[in-house]
Structure 1
């Protein structure tokens, strides 16, 4: 909402020394958040003066354009007093008119500098300005013609145009509809400075009589009050007064015509939306009812709309003529030939207005106010104000007929414990202070015993319970007075087990060189296609959103990989040599148990109702995904670098499991989007055997689809499973002071046997003396035969209490080889 400061001062006797910045700051303290302060003439510098056109000669040009060579009297503003020669392309003025002239040396909005220059065969010393050139509106077809009493040639044009006006723009919360008007903002300004306030809605209005335009309201719940007045004999050529057009523009709206501008002006002034009908186009009685199935209406924006039985509509004998409280229809629209206006000032049900606007995706200034709730008691005052302005500036006659149907709803009365403001805010607020403050905002208040009873003013429908009253008292006392008190931390609490473990996961991955990212959690079929998921893959069965942010990605993801791959590709595309990214987040798998029940918000659901609600919620396991692409080890003078591969992905999982104290086992498998021969299934070792996820090198086609290097690697595991098996405190390693014994073994196995299987067998056979085991060489070739491979392992043995003998070491080594031979068919290579 934009509020010109001069308009506020018309309604409130603010102290002269109060600056615009101070006023905006104080109103922000009261809850009207400052958005901006606009000064329309701030970008204009140099001489901008009133000029009188002396001569005007039309000169057709070869390009088909006709220009006017003008001489303009600018008084002494040019330093000589001589007329100023100016070329102008507009034709909406004549000799004798007062115009706005910017002289050489002036600068217009956008940094447009004005100088004397030769054009169309003349030296044009200045510019005759249009509204758009001065940033006063969008009109660029004609220049601004000032009223005959606007001033003398050479006078500063800024005050005449309102360019010295300051406008405060506020961000108005949805519950403060009263502040979408100068009436409401001025009331807040009066409250801020305890200044006298003149309510623009306070006026004597004529009583209803039988001569008014006939109106019938069939739905009084949807339209409790309908006031109609008629103005006849309007001059269709009457223009909007400059002061009114200027204020409408300053408030962020566009002047259109006198009849429309007057209704908009009163809406801005009082906050009460008004609609005007062309009296000659109305046919019979105006009726308010709900729309019927199949009815349609073409609204003022030219859109043909199919109406819902929930829509409130205004009709006459010809059919529907408007969406009540939202937008009128084309058939009764006021036009340039309108000489009679029937004024509608009606109060509409806020919920119905909101639903109608959402249903038709229709936003209007009237609907914005009606859907928030406006003062139902000023319908007559608003209609009378519109009639008054139309008669004063359009030469019309206010007809004596006055129609009033219905009555405003009864005001709301709220009982509040007298000590509630002090208990809720923590401020020492005396009950008498609360009584006074509530009276300041317009409540009728009385205190009886320990209870304060407040009757809410009609312009504040947002006040519905005692805590709303507490907020009003608090904002007047000042939010800055609320003490800052840190609650004492209860002993014995801190991070939960899951929080501690997740932090360990993040630190471990960061130590491995990975950077955490957060991706867009929604996907579409294109992402699943790029991952080359089979048609029956469970990951394609995703939860689809009813109102997705993107039509191309309408489903909640079942895998973190697509978003992570896009992040990696974006970084690589910007010149990064290598990326190591990870993300933790939930994925969702539908449970197909039917839709979730929808309960009200005015009671707590029972345990059974909550169980039904939770049963319909999809499973949402916490996943961890890692992508490694590009340079993994940097090259330099010390040697060549190395790109990320499948071993790095599996190593990440092993490192993470080791940090959490979980023993894992790795087995070869096939699963999209990984390369068929370079994908590992990672499981919890031992009897549990729960699957954690997969790691390995991505399929080259998947890499191409996402713009990754040809041999990128990735990991995705179920973090919930890993954390469930994690140990809370990882024990430190045991160290022995006795020397280590090293044994190397080379085993020949079939090419299909994995190194992990051989390693597991060696570890099992070696027994408790084995300290570590590591694969250090893989060989294939003629020496081991076709279909075979040689795996070389380095075994380290150590005892905690003695130095191992050669016999003990040899026996442990032989036992390990024997077990590997038994399990995998390995043969020791000689």
Structure 2
């Protein structure tokens, strides 16, 4: 929201409050003033000049020698090259000694001196708006109105010492999207009198009406309009209106459009002006129909459906309700008869519609937050008066159709509750004063907790719905600065710590310690990622996505990590190791509503990582090689310590078949690890396969309590066992079989470790190993805490393992 201070002070003028103090007051009241800046940079000795005569420069085709009256008592000769200079116009004239703003940012100010241009002396300079830094228009001199007083300082005449306020409004403060709304706040904060423009009915001189039907009460609650005939669309917009529009960030277009925009900024009421002669029959306010199209004022052609409100005539759609008008009925300089419309559109019927078509409008921005439904007629009278004053014409009666207006229920505020929330003592009189200053009607009653205020929200306050909204109003007007900063007082309580469960913060540090860098991605992702990485053809869709491509909720973290790897590769990063901790979202009919849960949706916390490029940073001590499955598998094993996870082959839509595993801890699947599927390497422009993991955060946090194990004082027995099996046999199955055999032989308690330390696959078949076979070497460590193990016990353990391998896998001892 941008506006000039001088315009604001015509509504509410706290005379003893400076610009800085006013800015601070608004900010502390919740209307954050982002920026306050002057209308024009500093300059001096520039006055209103009157061009008396011009003649062609004797030595230059594009220069003119002008005779100028600048109010100095003598005529000044000034050489000017502007194409629009001519006798009789009034323009800014920089006198000798004037200091103009720098031509470029960071440059030095420019001083006007007596000089010669192609042999002709010049005693000043005629200025354009760009040279005064009032706009970027460099097409010619800034022509002033004919009644501009010659010799008056241009800063005074154009009010260039005015300040421009830029306010960042929160979505709930739709009532402040106008000068009137901000002035209401200024009046409440400072006590300044609120002055409104005249909105009394204009004289009705014709009886013309346009038939209007409101077919959708859930779209439009009130529709007001009137016919105005005989307007002069060529009329010039007054300079004061153009100035206020420009200082509010609006470009002057034509008188009729400017008046509509002006009243929108002034009173917060978006309206629309139709060319009456282009309307076929009457108007129907209704929901759109599938397949209907409309060419908008911005040139876009959009297709509507049953969820988009429209204003249609007997032949076609003429406007997107509450958003933008259509091109076919737009007013032009040839327009002579108009239909002026002002309506109340239900916010829920406007919200998100403009975003659907990838644009936004001032009207949609206001209507989707809520616009005063009680003042449509008064605002039409204000617009009509300006049109008749500037463009002339004859006005017909106002047609006001009240169909379906909001019912404003009183909201209760308990004084005791307000004191508890704000942490200060408040009297009922202070609260009553706040409501009176804000013009909030209220009654006072006695309740069980003390005095209670019943406040009926005004028609322009859509943000007051619950008790906390009223408490916020009290805090804003009472003054946040008056609320002391006191530390909270509460009883301390020693709570037991779950030593078997580490925090999410510790898990994140553990992953970072494995040389991964944390990233944070959006929880809503591209629908393509869900299909590619989770085989999810029915993702959870967002009703109102912030961007068209981020339209679904993620069910896996892998897509975001792959995207960030690609982002880094595009910026010449050779080695990327990233991780993310975040929620994923699945449909679950068993899930119920709770403090952190939503019915029908499971939202588990997951930890995922991705490694791409060399396994280690380049160094002299380790040869460079690409990261592989076993590097990341080792990271996963370290993260689950002291638990020892199992790994089983798995088919996963995102991972390479045969190079992907399911992670199992305590008999429960808790995640996956593996190389990215080859088909996604080309799809996502990756030159080598990254290795990813995705693990359940709850499993990572449950480490359990440490348990004491006696350390043996007796030597360990170590045996190496080399067996030949088919190449399709999995090592994990063999280890499971050997451990099971030891347990059956009651020797499992002696097994300290059983690990694979070698694998051999021959290039050609031999007498010892076939072409489809492999040799696996296991190292078995046995140790007892009570005595030295006898050779017979060790041999028994080895025999039990060999027999189990032979029975289950047809294995044989090598050699």
Bin for the TM-score computed over the shorter chain: 0.7 to 0.9
Corresponding position of 2:237:
240
Out of 378-387 and 430-439, give the one that drifted further.
Answer: 378-387
Corresponding position of 1:146:
144
Cα shift readout 1:684-729 (whole Å, capped 9, x = no counterpart): 57xx4x5455444556665455455646433345666x569x5532
Cα shift readout 1:483-537 (whole Å, capped 9, x = no counterpart): 6564758857688899746556444433433333344566668658977xxxxxx
Contact persistence 2:525–2:551 (CA under 8 A): yes
Corresponding position of 1:25:
24
Residues 478/733 of structure 1: CA separation in 2 closer, same or farther (3 Å cut):
farther
- Give 1:468 deviation, angstroms: 3.5
Question: What secondary structure, in the 3-state scheme, does the structure 2 residue paired with 1:99 have?
Answer: strand
Out of 445-454 and 295-304, give the one that drifted further.
Answer: 295-304
In structure 2, C-alpha distance between the alignment counterparts of 1:75 and 1:361, rounded to whole Å? 51
Cα shift readout 1:380-402 (whole Å, capped 9, x = no counterpart): 543444444445445x3766x65
Corresponding position of 1:753:
729
Q: 1:416 aligns with which of 412, 419, 426?
A: 412
Residues 494/53 of structure 1: CA separation in 2 closer, same or farther (3 Å cut):
farther
Q: 1:100 aligns with which of 85, 89, 92?
A: 92
Corresponding position of 1:656:
639
Residue pairs, 1:415-434, within 5 angstroms: 416=412, 419=415, 420-434=417-431
Contact persistence 1:225–1:406 (CA under 8 A): yes
Residues 442/109 of structure 1: CA separation in 2 closer, same or farther (3 Å cut):
farther
Corresponding position of 1:177:
174
- Give 1:168 deviation, angstroms: 0.9
Corresponding position of 2:9:
9
In structure 1, C-alpha distance between the alignment counterparts of 2:119 and 2:528, rounded to whole Å? 63
Corresponding position of 2:224:
226
Residue pairs, 1:220-299, within 5 angstroms: 222=220, 224=222, 226=224, 228=226, 230=228, 237-276=234-273, 289-290=285-286
Cα shift readout 1:306-361 (whole Å, capped 9, x = no counterpart): 77788777788998766665555556544334566665555555555558767877
Corresponding position of 1:510:
512
Query: Which stretches in structure 2 are left out of the alignment for 5+ residues?
Result: none
Corresponding position of 1:84:
78
Question: What secondary structure, in the 3-state scheme, does the structure 2 residue paired with 1:246 have?
Answer: helix
In structure 1, C-alpha distance between the alignment counterparts of 2:678 and 2:287, rounded to whole Å? 60
Contact persistence 1:696–1:713 (CA under 8 A): yes
Contact persistence 2:260–2:383 (CA under 8 A): yes
In structure 1, C-alpha distance between the alignment counterparts of 2:224 and 2:161, rounded to whole Å? 40
- Give 1:249 deviation, angstroms: 0.8
Cα shift readout 1:784-815 (whole Å, capped 9, x = no counterpart): 43434433333333322334455555554554
Contact persistence 2:56–2:63 (CA under 8 A): yes
Contact persistence 1:229–1:383 (CA under 8 A): no
Corresponding position of 2:578:
581
Question: What secondary structure, in the 3-state scheme, does the structure 1 residue paired with 2:196 have?
Answer: coil
Q: 1:731 aligns with which of 702, 707, 712?
A: 707
In structure 2, C-alpha distance between the alignment counterparts of 1:806 and 1:67, rounded to whole Å? 114
**TM value normalised by structure 1:** 0.78
Out of 309-318 and 502-511, give the one that drifted further.
Answer: 309-318
Residues 122/197 of structure 1: CA separation in 2 closer, same or farther (3 Å cut):
same
Tell me if 1:35 matches 2:16.
no
Q: 1:714 aligns with which of 689, 692, 717?
A: 692
In structure 2, C-alpha distance between the alignment counterparts of 1:461 and 1:674, rounded to whole Å? 51
Corresponding position of 1:604:
none
Out of 487-496 and 697-706, give the one that drifted further.
Answer: 487-496
- Give 1:169 deviation, angstroms: 1.6
In structure 2, C-alpha distance between the alignment counterparts of 1:671 and 1:289, rounded to whole Å? 53
Question: What secondary structure, in the 3-state scheme, does the structure 2 residue paired with 1:631 have?
Answer: coil
Residues 300/678 of structure 1: CA separation in 2 closer, same or farther (3 Å cut):
closer
Corresponding position of 1:539:
535
In structure 2, C-alpha distance between the alignment counterparts of 1:673 and 1:800, rounded to whole Å? 47
Residues 757/29 of structure 1: CA separation in 2 closer, same or farther (3 Å cut):
same
- Give 1:146 deviation, angstroms: 0.9
In structure 2, C-alpha distance between the alignment counterparts of 1:281 and 1:694, rounded to whole Å? 65
Query: How many pairs are equivalent?
Result: 785
- Give 1:640 deviation, angstroms: 3.1
Corresponding position of 1:800:
785
Question: What secondary structure, in the 3-state scheme, does the structure 2 residue paired with 1:252 have?
Answer: coil
- Give 1:26 deviation, angstroms: 0.9
Contact persistence 1:426–1:483 (CA under 8 A): no
Corresponding position of 1:598:
none
Corresponding position of 1:774:
755
Contact persistence 1:411–1:458 (CA under 8 A): no
Question: What secondary structure, in the 3-state scheme, does the structure 2 residue paired with 1:460 have?
Answer: coil
Q: 2:437 aligns with which of 435, 440, 448?
A: 440
Out of 243-252 and 785-794, give the one that drifted further.
Answer: 785-794
Corresponding position of 1:600:
none
Cα shift readout 1:362-393 (whole Å, capped 9, x = no counterpart): 75434544444444554454344444444544
Tell me if 1:627 matches 2:626.
no
In structure 1, C-alpha distance between the alignment counterparts of 2:289 and 2:453, rounded to whole Å? 49
Residues 608/214 of structure 1: CA separation in 2 closer, same or farther (3 Å cut):
same
Residue pairs, 1:430-829, within 5 angstroms: 430-449=427-446, 450-464=451-465, 466-480=467-481, 481=483, 486=488, 488=490, 500=502, 502=504, 505-519=507-521, 539=535, 541-543=537-539, 545=541, 556-557=553-554, 559-572=556-569, 574-576=571-573, 578-587=575-584, 617=600, 623-634=606-617, 636-659=619-642, 661=643, 663-667=644-648, 674=655, 676=657, 678-684=659-665, 688=667, 690-697=668-675, 702-703=680-681, 705-708=683-686, 710=688, 712-717=690-695, 722=699, 728-731=704-707, 734-764=710-740, 765=742, 767-781=748-762, 784-787=768-771, 788-805=773-790, 808-829=793-814
Cα shift readout 1:589-641 (whole Å, capped 9, x = no counterpart): 668x9xxxxxxxxxxxxx99979xx9994666655443333332456454535
Residue pairs, 1:356-395, within 5 angstroms: 363-394=360-391
Question: What secondary structure, in the 3-state scheme, does the structure 2 residue paired with 1:83 have?
Answer: strand
- Give 1:297 deviation, angstroms: 6.2
In structure 2, C-alpha distance between the alignment counterparts of 1:641 and 1:731, rounded to whole Å? 40
Contact persistence 1:438–1:469 (CA under 8 A): no
Residues 748/485 of structure 1: CA separation in 2 closer, same or farther (3 Å cut):
same
Question: What secondary structure, in the 3-state scheme, does the structure 1 residue paired with 2:35 have?
Answer: strand
In structure 2, C-alpha distance between the alignment counterparts of 1:300 and 1:644, rounded to whole Å? 57
Contact persistence 2:78–2:121 (CA under 8 A): no
- Give 1:423 deviation, angstroms: 4.4
Out of 385-394 and 486-495, give the one that drifted further.
Answer: 486-495
In structure 2, C-alpha distance between the alignment counterparts of 1:500 and 1:338, rounded to whole Å? 74
Contact persistence 1:200–1:270 (CA under 8 A): no
In structure 1, C-alpha distance between the alignment counterparts of 2:784 and 2:342, rounded to whole Å? 96
Residues 799/125 of structure 1: CA separation in 2 closer, same or farther (3 Å cut):
farther
In structure 1, C-alpha distance between the alignment counterparts of 2:791 and 2:43, rounded to whole Å? 98
Contact persistence 1:299–1:330 (CA under 8 A): yes
Contact persistence 1:248–1:255 (CA under 8 A): yes
Corresponding position of 2:66:
71
Residues 309/694 of structure 1: CA separation in 2 closer, same or farther (3 Å cut):
closer
Question: What secondary structure, in the 3-state scheme, does the structure 2 residue paired with 1:771 have?
Answer: strand
Residues 311/618 of structure 1: CA separation in 2 closer, same or farther (3 Å cut):
closer
Query: Which stretches in structure 1 are left out of the alignment for 5+ residues?
Result: 532-537, 594-606
In structure 2, C-alpha distance between the alignment counterparts of 1:714 and 1:148, rounded to whole Å? 75
Two-structure CA RMSD over aligned residues (Å) = 4.9
- Give 1:238 deviation, angstroms: 3.4
**TM value normalised by structure 2:** 0.79
